[in-house]
Amino acid sequence: MLQENNDKRSSAGDLSKQSLYSACEGYLSLLKLHFLRVTSSDLAEAAQIAAQADYLHLFVDIMIDWQIVDDFLRTWATEVELVNIQPQVPNVHRYMVTWITAWLFVGMGKGQILVSKEVRCMLLQTWLQPFYEDFGWIRRACKGLDRRLIENGLNNTILTLPLAMQQDILLAWFVRFLNSGDDCPNIQHGFKVWWRRTFWRQNGETSRPPQLRISASCENSS
């Protein structure tokens, strides 16, 4: 009897998981359709982008809580087509899509989402640039936003990658941060951790790295 009950719970869980994934796939397909229509100058479709993104965000939030979001994250990390279309859509209509990426960063940073290094790399390669470009809109438009939570999630995600990739991402971020200020996520912590790790590796971890200080003007913009 106990085994039978366990089997029923497992089947119900699998069904719920499959239902959530199926719903997300449907909303994702509609999202891409509305993106394409907006790029064809049909701005009447713009409101539907936010609506589909809202639905996706809701389901992603549920899947993160249930710790079953891994497969969706893999799918999201390969959405190169959507990312390529995104620059053709005004920020005001697309930032809610990028907000989904931000929430995935939070989940990975808090250890709620456990995926392979390859998937984390793919997610950043696909979505980091759009995330940077829309961060200012997310910061201003998302009520109750805890930007520190997002920045910590991004920090922690980057710091789990190989050092060479950390270097590429963080040096590019540094240049962007100097030029963009508050409209760029502040991941100074990740930059400083990477700096120390790199210095210690180059010096055989026998000496203390020099104190790294990013200019005061940048620090004041965080």
**pLDDT level of residue 8 (50, 70, 90 thresholds):** very low
Question: Between the CA of residue 174 and those of 122, 165, 170, 171, 179, what are the distances in Å?
Answer: 21, 14, 6, 5, 9
Which pair of tokens denotes residue 147? 């930007």
Model-level pTM greater than 0.85? Answer: no
Pick 40 or 78 by higher pLDDT: 78
Residue 148 has pLDDT above 50, yes or no: yes
